[in-house]
Amino acid sequence: MDKLIFKVRNIKKVYNNKIVLDVHNLNFQEGKIYAIVGPNGSGKTTLLNILNLLEKADEGQIFFYDQEITNKSNSDILEIRRRITLVNQNPFLFNSTVYDNIAYGLKIRSISPKVQKSKIRSALNIVGLSDFEDRKANQLSGGEAQRVVIARALVIEPEVLFLDEPTANIDQKHIDVVERIIKKIKEEIKTTVIFSTHDLSQAYRLADEVISLLDGKIIKQVPENLLQGEIVEENGLKRFKTMGNIKFAIVSKKVGLAYISIDPRDIILSYEQFQSSARNSFLGKITKIIEQNHLVKLEIDISIPLVVIITRESFFEMNLNLGSKVYLTFKASAVKLY
């Protein structure tokens, strides 16, 4: 099971003079589940599209098993394209029935209608939509559509299944369903799965290996509370402005676009705002509570979500609940700059 299905060597992709992907050495083994994590704009989709032969890299080489596929024309790689498939973020369903949608990949492979039928049945079974065959595609909910799209990909029995942010646009109930489907694919079909996500804990829940991308480069690990934004100067002080227009006091020499992260252990929670040397203090609402051994991980909405980790003792002592309003306080020097 340790055969390399994909090898990536020194791949570079440039859009508008900006390097969006710069990957030196990356291997994917047969039969494993890989998660590619990183914030929006980190190059996840570009990497998936290049591996899927939908986009060409500007430099470097890609090997599928031992065959180089870097600069092949579309018709040369048709045979390889047919052994892999990608489920896009914002999945698209053809304007017909669920059955016809799933049948498409089989039809273009000239598979007989009878075989098509049994394959479609079992694909729908895996995603738990057995009685959806005759439904019109445009009448499905977002979560149902996502499952149909996964069935449509599975039915062609790909050797590698790529999923681009499979849970980005669906509700929590369907996120759980999709995660179960991914686990099932690994256990029952043993297809290699490569999916992207910006949810770090999802990546670790599902994947055998996690690949972290930041700014197009592979980094050791994506930290929690990674935010993209801009460093601006106000009255001689440097501030980091997030996409959600929240401003953090930071310590920085430069200005301009940047990534920052805040270690969730460096954030202090309190019910009252208190005077201290820490430069950052925000009121937020607890939206998620996850217990991890002797620690508790909280997701707190300060108009952007921040993760805070505290001990179980503090958690119970403060009597925190979902919806509790608390102040988050951290030093300017706790904000790490990239």
Partner 1 sequence: MDFIIEGIRKAFHLIFTLDSEIFSIVLLSLRVSLTAVILASLLGVYLGFLMAVKDYWGKRFSVALVNTLLALPTVVIGLIVYSLVSRKRGPLGIFGLLYTPSAMIIGQFILAVPIIIALTHSAVQGIDKRVRNTALTLGATEAQSAWMVIKEARYAVLAAVITGFGRVIAEVGAAMMLGGNIKGSTRVMTTAIALESTKGEFGFAIALGIILLFVAFSINILLHYFQSKRV
Interaction of residue 166 with partner 1, rule CB under 8 A: no
Q: Which of 7, 12, 19, 52 binds partner 1 (CB under 8 A)?
A: 52
Which residues in 18-146 belong to E strands, given as ranges?
18-29, 33-37, 59-64, 67-68, 84-87
Nearer to partner 1, 163 or 306 (CB): 163
Interaction of residue 307 with partner 1, rule CB under 8 A: no
Interaction of residue 105 with partner 1, rule CB under 8 A: yes
Stretch that binds partner 1, among 77-85, 168-176, 236-244, 287-295 (CB under 8 A): 77-85
Residue 225: CB atoms within 10 A of its CB come to 19
Residue 32 CB, shortest distance to partner 1, in Å, is: 21
Q: Which of 3, 24, 56, 109 binds partner 1 (CB under 8 A)?
A: 109
Q: Which of 24, 67, 68, 94 binds partner 1 (CB under 8 A)?
A: 94
Interaction of residue 255 with partner 1, rule CB under 8 A: no
Contacts of 34 by beta carbon, 8 Å cutoff, 6+ apart: 28, 192, 193, 194, 195, 207, 208, 209, 210, 211
> Token pair of 232, please?
């601006």
Interaction of residue 82 with partner 1, rule CB under 8 A: yes
Q: What sign does the CA torsion over 226, 227, 228, 232 have?
A: negative
Q: Which of residues 221-240 bind partner 1 (CB under 8 A)?
A: none
> Token pair of 225, please?
């509370």
CA-CA-CA-CA torsion for 224, 225, 230, 232, nearest 10 degrees?
A: -120
Q: Which of 1, 2, 16, 74 binds partner 1 (CB under 8 A)?
A: 74
Stretch that binds partner 1, among 78-86, 235-243, 255-263, 304-312 (CB under 8 A): 78-86
DSSP helix/strand/coil, 267:
coil
Q: Estimate to the nearest angstrom the gap between the alpha carbon of 165 and the chain centroid.
A: 5
The residues binding partner 1 (CB under 8 A) are: 52, 54, 74-75, 78, 81-82, 85-88, 90, 92, 94-95, 104-105, 108-109, 138, 152-153, 156
